[in-house]
Amino acid sequence: MTTLSTNTPTAELQAIDAAHHMHPFTHSAGLAAKGARIITRADGVWLNDSDGNRILDAMAGLWCVNVGYGRNELAEAAARQMRELPYYNTFFQTSHVPAIALAERIAKLAPGDLNHIFYASSGSEANDTNLRLVRTYWAEKGQPQKQWVISRWNAYHGSSVGSGSLGGMKGMHAQGGMPIPGIAFIDQPHWWAEGGDKTPEEFGLERARQLEEKILELGPENVAAFIAEPVQGAGGVIVPPETYWPEIQRIVDHYGILLIADEVICGFGRTGNWFGSQTMGIKPHIMTIAKGLSSGYQPIGGSVLCDEVAEVIGNCEFNHGYTYSGHPVACAVALENLRILEDESIVDRVRTETGPYLKERFETLTDHPLVGEAKIVGMMGSLALTPDKAARAPFASDAGTVGFICRERCFSNNLIMRHVGDRMIISPPLVISKDEIDTLIERAWQSLDEAHAKLKDEGLMQAAPRA
């Protein structure tokens, strides 16, 4: 067996990767034919690959590297904790300092009386916890028939059987027997694509009222909870109309169902506040957290519960947990990550300085002939690509064809910008500087130009016929 390192030739690494490593959400044979890009190191917002390119990571990894790459303090926190206590569980009436300290810190940062954390190692695990937890909550309150959880089409809540079922990704549901029973879906508040001739405000209200209709259809006595991302991330950074969340809040309050805010992306500064719930003005009973909690340096997530939910669950033995719930190294790194976010006023800067600057620059992309709208909240943004701006028309080609072409142009211009269908999305590290924002926008414009030229060459600038 050869010893591989970052000095091993790229082609050799790619061949071994293709032979033995199955990638998530990937057509493996297709990737094997072209070879994965090998990332070797990173600092700030910059990635290096094995061919010596420096790539601007406008996705912060997978929406998670909020404090940027290469933070020594986080490496030190992990090393310190590994030497002192690398692992211990929290199952059998034991605890440890990192889990205790992080729980206290999260309770302090979280709004209202969201004061209690149940740890997991990922967002998927945390949402699995939430699914069992809300049903257990109602059973403990003597309403065991309150089982239904309502979610939204095109939501992303993770990839395990439970969390993938809570999500509304039809491509995921088509594989492996999802969704499991007891989960119902309403439509998303995606005005640009689905709003037709309505104003965004009318459309936002209409989509929110689908929640009320669904509750009445299932019977309020049978509904446990509604789960949603404050701003949908993986679905394409879909920013709801302003009328949407206040109406959702009114409905969950009126029918007395639990509101789960999936803050896995929105949490820890992404929207310019500590939590997306604050930006959207909502009061969840439970928040799902992961990703930015540790800036991705360690796998950690959790469910943050309000006092009343924690009290009800606390009065039964909740038969649930993970070997790595409250892992001491992950907790120590998360704690240090939160210290950096606070001490360097990173969240405030996103809200008052770099976020507004990114918004101003990002919105100039709507001048590009390919871009129908640019939406951005804090540091998560999206572009709708269209062959006809005035009609808000989708392309005639299969959804994702054009987005993929644009993404490939970005990739070759050393900019990581993802596509979801024919929407381009960004979610850069929160520490991105104004100069780096300028570079991001220049590279995005250049990539859009190249994609536009290619689409014209290939006859792809065609609108789909109106439905």
Ligand X SMILES: *Cc1c(COP(=O)(O)O)cnc(C)c1O
Nearer to ligand X, 234 or 437 (CB): 234
Site string for ligand X, 95-134 (x = CB under 6 A): ---------------------------xxx--x-------
262, 227 Cβ separation under 8 angstroms: yes
Applying CB under 6 A, the span of 156-164, 211-219, 345-353, 444-452 interacting with ligand X comes to 156-164
Residue 207 Cβ vs ligand X, minimum distance, rounded to whole Å: 18
Site membership for ligand X, residue 156 (CB under 6 A): yes
Nearest residue relative to ligand X (C-beta): 123
Among 71, 96, 116, 157, binds ligand X (CB under 6 A): 157
What residues from 371 to 410 belong to the interface with ligand X (CB under 6 A)?
A: none
Residue 65 Cβ vs ligand X, minimum distance, rounded to whole Å: 13
**Separation of alpha carbons 128 and 113, rounded Å:** 22
Strand pairing report for 286-289 and 223-228? unpaired
Among 57, 128, 212, 229, binds ligand X (CB under 6 A): 229
Nearer to ligand X, 123 or 378 (CB): 123
Site membership for ligand X, residue 265 (CB under 6 A): yes
* Residue 466 structure tokens: 């109106």
**Separation of alpha carbons 235 and 161, rounded Å:** 18
**Separation of alpha carbons 332 and 337, rounded Å:** 9
What burial class does residue 120 get, using C-beta atoms within 10 Å of its C-beta: 0-12 exposed, 13-18 middle, 19+ buried?
buried
Residue 202 Cβ vs ligand X, minimum distance, rounded to whole Å: 27
Number of CB atoms found within 10 A of residue 134's CB: 27
Number of H helices, E strands in the chain: 18, 15
Nearer to ligand X, 195 or 296 (CB): 296
Site membership for ligand X, residue 234 (CB under 6 A): yes
For 333-351, the three-class secondary structure string (H helix, E strand, C coil) is: HHHHHHHHHHHCCHHHHHH
Handedness of CA 7, 13, 17, 19 (dihedral sign): negative
Applying CB under 6 A, the span of 34-42, 85-93, 153-161, 267-275 interacting with ligand X comes to 153-161
Helices (H), 68-117: 72-84, 97-109
Residue 5 Cβ vs ligand X, minimum distance, rounded to whole Å: 28
Residue 347 Cβ vs ligand X, minimum distance, rounded to whole Å: 18
Residue 312 Cβ vs ligand X, minimum distance, rounded to whole Å: 24
Nearer to ligand X, 229 or 436 (CB): 229
Applying CB under 6 A, the span of 88-96, 139-147, 258-266, 275-283 interacting with ligand X comes to 258-266
Nearer to ligand X, 228 or 451 (CB): 228
Site string for ligand X, 324-363 (x = CB under 6 A): ----------------------------------------
For 140, 362, 415, 443, 463, the CA distances from 412, given in Å and listed in that order, are: 55, 20, 7, 10, 27
Residue 232 Cβ vs ligand X, minimum distance, rounded to whole Å: 8
233, 196 Cβ separation under 8 angstroms: no
Site membership for ligand X, residue 298 (CB under 6 A): no
Determine which helix (DSSP H) or strand (DSSP E) holds 437, and give its type and residue range.
Answer: helix 434-457
Q: Residues with Cβ < 8 Å from 70, sequence gap 6 or more?
A: 41, 42, 43, 44
Site membership for ligand X, residue 227 (CB under 6 A): no
Amino acid at 403: G
Nearer to ligand X, 368 or 423 (CB): 423
Residue 188 Cβ vs ligand X, minimum distance, rounded to whole Å: 13
Please give the size of the binding site for ligand X, defined by CB under 6 A: 15
**Separation of alpha carbons 238 and 195, rounded Å:** 13
Among 44, 158, 272, 421, binds ligand X (CB under 6 A): 158
**Separation of alpha carbons 438 and 449, rounded Å:** 17
φ and ψ at 355, to 5 degrees? -60, -55
Binding site for ligand X (CB under 6 A): 122-124, 127, 156-158, 229, 233-234, 262, 264-265, 290, 301
